[in-house]
Every structure is written in C-alpha cells, then in structure tokens.
Structure 1
Amino acid sequence: MTAGRIVIGGSSGFMGQHLQRKYRAEGRELVTISRSGADLSWGDQAGIDQAVDGASLVIGLAGKSVNCRYTPENRAEIFRSRLDTTASLSAAIASASNPPALWVNSSTATIYRHAEDRPMTESAGEIGTGFSVEVAKAWEQSLFADDLPRTRRVALRSTIVLGHGGVLGPLKNLARIGLGGAQHDGWWPVSKSRRAAGTGHFPGAKRGAQRFSWVHIDDVARIIDFVEQHPELDGPVNAAAPYPVDNTTFMASVRRVLGAKFGPPMPRWMLEIGAIGIRTETELILKSRWVVPEKLAAAGFEFEYPTLDAALQKSFDLAESNS
C-alpha cells in the first residue's frame, strides 16, 4: 500500500465517510475538507493549500446531490458546489512545492448518452446531452483546466454506487411494501422551461429495459487504491462493475435478495408523481446507463463484487446489521 497523507475534499458524503473509515483503519494520515464536521472548511484556502502540499493523494468528492428537483436554484448549486471545490483543490496543487502524485476526482457515468444499443467505454463512449451531462462535462473540465505537470489526474466516472445507504435505503423500503417492481418509461409532458434547461426526460427504453450500471462501494475504494498503484491510468476511468443489468433484472434482484415476492411494474405517471412528492427526478431511474470498465479491465483490476446479487447481499447485510 502506498504511504503518505491523503486529503479528501467532500468527506461528509456516502463515499467520503466510507473512505475515511477505510484509510483510518489502515493507519494512513488523513485530512478531511467539508462544509462542516471536517478538519478544514472549503473557505479555508490557506489550510487546504497546506494540507495538499506534501500529500500523496488528493480525492475530490464534493458536490450537491443530484437527488433533488432540478429547480433553477438547485441547478446553480449543483454546478457551483462541484466547480468551486474542484478549483480550490486545483489551486492548492498548483501552488504546492511538493504536489501530490495523484488527484482522483469524482465524475459521473451520466456523462454518456442514453444507451440501449451498446455499452459506453472510455475510448468509444458517446457524450450525451442535457443538464446532467453539462454538469459532468464542466466538472471534468475543471479537473483538467490547470497545468499540473507533476500530478496525475483521474476523473472517476462512477455509476450507481451500492452499499449501506445511498440509493438502496429507499429501494429496500419500497420493495418490502410491494412497490419494488420495474420502473417503466412512457410519455409525460415536458414544459418549455424544462426543454430549455435540458432537464426534461423524454421516453426512451420500453418496459424496464433501460440499462442499469452499478458498482459496490467497496470496489470503488479498491479502484482508488488500484489507480494509486498503477501510474499508467489517467484521464477518465469508468467505475462500473463488469456485468450491468437492465432495470427489470435489477429490481427483481432487489426483491429476491430481500425475500419480497411481489412487485408490480411502476408506470411513468406514478414515478413522476412520486418524484414530485419526494423531491427528486425520474431521469435518475429512467435514463439507460450502460457503462463498462474498459480501462480497469485492461489494467487487470479484479472486482470483489462483479455480479449484482453478491453486491446486493453484501449491501443489505450491512444495512441489516446497522439498523
């Protein structure tokens, strides 16, 4: 294991907390940055500069969750929270006399287009359109904007991360009350304002056929370790398990692992009403994300959880032991 200080920007979220536990258990020196409850706050640029100078690894995870309604205010904050924090880390690295060898920054596999025809890879994937894609593009552009010749940079294009918490908490509850069926796309009115903002989801996959790419949180942490140990890896890296499924298969696996026998399909109109009620967007479940880990596979990375049922079982076992 590579030694040296690790700086985590955006340490209070799902992934940040997981990484904190892992690195502290390994005895690595760790400095955390967050809006609250961390060693440093985002407004303390001098402190961030000092923490980054001499670090071996910087991990950028900060950004407002996209699990919200895409109001103008939320859209602005989704952009600002990513770009400002990434720029802060970049400025710290640029000013360091002993800059880190590696900077791994969050990105998202949502950068790729809605894909039902073939999987998206780093080399041949096609970039999509719309608000979520523009966020991802701007985030990566901020990562690579400055000239940092002594620091290798990796944009971790993460798929849906499974583990104790995150997306699986609500899905577990829905499945147990008989609402764990496949999510079916269909027609729904898209206003002019949503068309202009790129936030409207237009009908795509039929009857739960939208692809669902995923990765277990333990494997994301192992991917970061692997990237740290493999200097040939840089640029975009897909953090995705090698065997994605479709939405119907994913929800059937959730029900099977939980022992929920009943789960009728959920039509688009029900999903839209539910999304309004819980203040989220249906794009998060209806866009077909078909992503595979081309670079990691070529470099020899082996997933601990390559198949869905094992990843879900591990995730729900953890959930049960912590509930």
Structure 2
Amino acid sequence: MKTNTITIAGGSGFLGQVLENYFKEQGHTIYILTRNPKRDNDMYWNAKDLDNWTTILNKTDILINLTGKSVDCRYTEANKKLIHDSRINSTLILGKAVNNCNNPPKIWLNMSTSTIYEDSYNKEMTETNGDIGDDFSMNIAKSWEIAFNNIETTKTKKVILRTSIVLGKNGGALVPLKRLTQFGLGGKQWHGKQKVSWIHELDFAKAIDFIVTQNLEGTFNIVSPKPTTNIHLMKALRKALNVPFGIPQTKWLLKLGARVIGTESELVLKSRNVLPENLINNGFKFTYTNIDNALSSLVKS
C-alpha cells in the first residue's frame, strides 16, 4: 500500500481526530494545521495568512480542509460573520498556498455541508437532483463552495464534501443527544417526522479514503444511504443506552432550550433527506447503513 502525507487544516477538532486516527492506522503521515499547536505534527496557522505552514504543502499528497467556526451557536451578527469568514478565508488562503507550491497536493478535499439542501421530507436530495435552499445556513454553504470552485488548481484535483451529521464516540451530535437521553429527555423532538441524514464516523473516514483511492473529483454527499427520522433516532438511542423512556420535546421548548444552551433549534427541526448518490454510483460500500446498528456500535464500544 502506498503511504501518503496528509495535511488536515482545522484538524484539531472531532472530525479531524477521526481522520487522523483512521489514516495513522494505515501508516500515513499526518500534519494538522491548527491555531493551538501542541504536538510534533501540529503546525500553527491562523486560517487567513500565508506563513510557515505553507512549506508542508510541497510534500503533501492529500489536503483536507475542515476549517470553520462551529454552527452550534446562536446566530448573532458577530457569530454569523465568524461562521462565514472562517470558512471563506481558510479556503482562499489554502488556494493561494496550493498554487504557490512547486509540488502541490494531488487532491484537495474541502468541507461543505448537506444543510445546503432545502428542508425535505419526501424528496430525496442527491448531488444531481437536490434543491439548493436559501437561508443563512444554506447561503453559507453556497458561498463556501463558490469560493472553492473559483480557485483554479491545474495540478490538484478538487472535491467538495457535503457532510451530514457525523455520529462518533468522542464528539459531534451524539454527545449532547446521549446526555439528553440519559436525563430522560430523549423523546421525539417536535413531531419527530423530520428526516435525519447521518453517517457513522468510520464511514465518514472510509468515504474520504475511497474518494482519494479511486482518484475521484467533484461533489459528494457524505451521508448514509438510509436517512432515519428524528423519532426513530431517539428511539434507537434510548434502546442503545438502555433508557426505558424519553420525554418528548415540543417545538417551543426546543427553541427555548436552544436559547438557554446557546445554539439554534434548526439543528434538530430541519428535515434533511439527503442521499449519497455519487458515492454509491462509484461503488462505495458502507459499513453502517442501519441507525440502530450504528448507535449500538458507538455507545457500547
């Protein structure tokens, strides 16, 4: 197996650590671009200026950009600006750095989000048939992708990762959902019929590995082929945690609770019905397509 040098921008968070652990196990060399370097393979960057970190790109085979302020916050004007600027500035400066390289990365994968698609219960949103929406979150995703697509990289293939909720042991959405469920608040949220597009952390890493190994480019929905519903998600989580009941959460209570804990209720109220058409058409095999099995593996392992 060929070993690669992989640089993950904004890789000190949950998803970055999932990828680092996965690729390290395969023997690849990993560098992390971070504002808070703590280890030998960490390199300082502020996500907006060219600096010493650019030297690593000349020996990087695979560049993955995960940078962006978390959307798990209140959408104040200040936070909206940070959410936007952190994504656009990091993408633009990486583009400059890549094009300054004598030996640039072979492939550059840039994060986006499956939230780019409109709220949907029945229509399945694929890369070819999905309806792109128009609100703050969707427009952030559009701006992010436009910034990335406008960068010409003649020697570097480019991939957009429209990622859904990633379920993992040590981070992401599963941590607060587990806490709610253990406190007896793990009932359906709102009417519970809203679709939830999700992916297991192992499949998230495997999908990126597959895209690179197969030398693919373009836009990919990084989601499980079987979206669940909120009501089934919470039922499966209660079962995995051996919690016999869960108090349902009304819409007004969710909005109040989101305000109290400093986030937005759209994270649970929006219906995301997204399918990974391009991954499936290229032959990718998921390890976890069943939400019950996925949650069981994460909670009990």
Note the C-alpha offset of 1:26: 2.6
Note the C-alpha offset of 1:25: 2.8
Q: Which residue of structure 2 lines up, in the alignment, with residue 200 of structure 1?
A: none
Aligned residues with identical type, % of pairs = 40
What are the residue-to-residue correspondences of 1:57-76 with 2, within 5 Å? 57-76=62-81
What are the residue-to-residue correspondences of 1:183-198 with 2, within 5 Å? 183-184=189-190
Q: Which residue of structure 2 lines up, in the alignment, with residue 196 of structure 1?
A: none
Q: Is the 8 A contact 2:49 2:93 kept in 1?
A: no
Instruction: Report the RMSD for the aligned CA atoms in angstroms.
Output: 1.3
Q: Which residue of structure 1 lines up, in the alignment, with residue 178 of structure 2?
A: 172
Q: Distance in 2 between matches of 1:271 and 1:80?
A: 28
Q: Does 1:221 align with 2:226?
A: no
Q: Which residue of structure 1 lines up, in the alignment, with residue 43 of structure 2?
A: 39
Q: Is the 8 A contact 1:111 1:132 kept in 2?
A: yes
Q: Which residue of structure 1 lines up, in the alignment, with residue 234 of structure 2?
A: 251
User: 2:51 is paired with a residue of what secondary structure?
Assistant: helix
Q: Distance in 1 between matches of 2:53 and 2:140?
A: 24
Note the C-alpha offset of 1:44: 6.0
Which stretches in structure 1 are left out of the alignment for 5+ residues? 185-206, 319-323
User: Do the aligned partners of residues 217 and 80 (structure 1) sit closer, same or farther apart at CA in structure 2, a change above 3 Å counting?
Assistant: same
Q: Distance in 2 between matches of 1:310 and 1:35?
A: 36
User: 1:103 is paired with a residue of what secondary structure?
Assistant: strand
Q: Which residue of structure 2 lines up, in the alignment, with residue 87 of structure 1?
A: 92
User: 2:206 is paired with a residue of what secondary structure?
Assistant: helix
Could you give the per-residue CA deviations for residues 189-218 of structure 1, whole angstroms, max 9, x where no partner exists?
xxxxxxxxxxxxxxxxxx211100100111
Note the C-alpha offset of 1:86: 1.0
Greater displacement, 76-85 / 255-264:
255-264
1:91 is aligned with what amino acid? K
Q: Distance in 2 between matches of 1:100 and 1:2?
A: 15
Q: Distance in 1 between matches of 2:284 and 2:144?
A: 25
1:181 is aligned with what amino acid? G
Q: Distance in 2 between matches of 1:31 and 1:157?
A: 23
Q: Does 1:132 align with 2:132?
A: no
TM-score normalised by structure 1 residue count: 0.88
Q: Distance in 2 between matches of 1:40 and 1:4?
A: 21
Which stretches in structure 2 are left out of the alignment for 5+ residues? none
Q: Does 1:158 align with 2:163?
A: yes
Q: Which residue of structure 1 lines up, in the alignment, with residue 153 of structure 2?
A: 148
User: 2:43 is paired with a residue of what secondary structure?
Assistant: coil
Note the C-alpha offset of 1:2: 4.0
TM-score normalised by structure 2 residue count: 0.95
Note the C-alpha offset of 1:97: 1.1
